[in-house]
């Protein structure tokens, strides 16, 4: 099956700093999403981005499908950005067998 790697596994930032999270995947995909899991376990949709670049406020994401990686950029980080960031991919359509990476745990210090 498809393999998903995320780096770094852990990241500690001072409030206001910028960061880049990376997701590598082993095969071509039809779906790629970035999620933020808050301390209560809720997975919050950040981006649906199988290819290209998107921006939403302080967050942006780029997926280079031909090179099988995606990047999530967080600018001017805030303490509320803390949590675990997951990349998830799907080879097929319709959300079947959606495969998650191991996550990047981000801690933003005041």
Partner 1 sequence: DAGVTQSPTHLIKTRGQQVTLRCSPKSGHDTVSWYQQALGQGPQFIFQYYEEEERQRGNFPDRFSGHQFPNYSSELNVNALLLGDSALYLCASSRRGYNEQFFGPGTRLTVL
Q: Which residues bind partner 1 (CB under 8 A)?
A: 30-31, 33, 35, 40-43, 45, 48, 50, 86, 88, 90, 93-103
On whether the CB atoms of residues 5 and 100 are closer than 8 A, the answer is no
Residue 99 tokens, joined = 């495969």
Residue 53 backbone dihedrals phi, psi, to 5 degrees: -130, 140
CB of 95 to partner 1, least distance (A): 5
**Minimum CB distance to partner 1, residue 76 (Å):** 26
Q: Which tokens go with 6?
A: 């995320």
| Least Å from the CB of residue 75 to partner 1 | 24
Nearer to partner 1, 76 or 98 (CB): 98
**CA 39, CA 105: separation in Å to the nearest integer?**
11
The residue among 60 and 103 lying less far from partner 1, judged by its C-beta, is: 103
């Amino acid at each position: 099956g498809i393999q998903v790697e995320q780096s770094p596994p852990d990241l500690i930032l001072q409030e206001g700093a910028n960061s880049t999270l990376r997701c590598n995947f082993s095969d071509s995909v039809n779906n790629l999403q970035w999620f933020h899991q808050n301390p209560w376990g809720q997975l919050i949709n950040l981006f649906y981005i199988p290819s290209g670049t998107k921006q939403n406020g302080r967050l942006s994401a780029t997926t280079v499908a031909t090179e099988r990686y995606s990047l999530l950029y967080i600018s001017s980080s805030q303490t509320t950005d803390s949590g675990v960031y997951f990349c998830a991919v799907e080879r097929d359509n319709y959300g079947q067998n959606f495969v998650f990476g191991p996550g990047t745990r981000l801690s933003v210090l005041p």
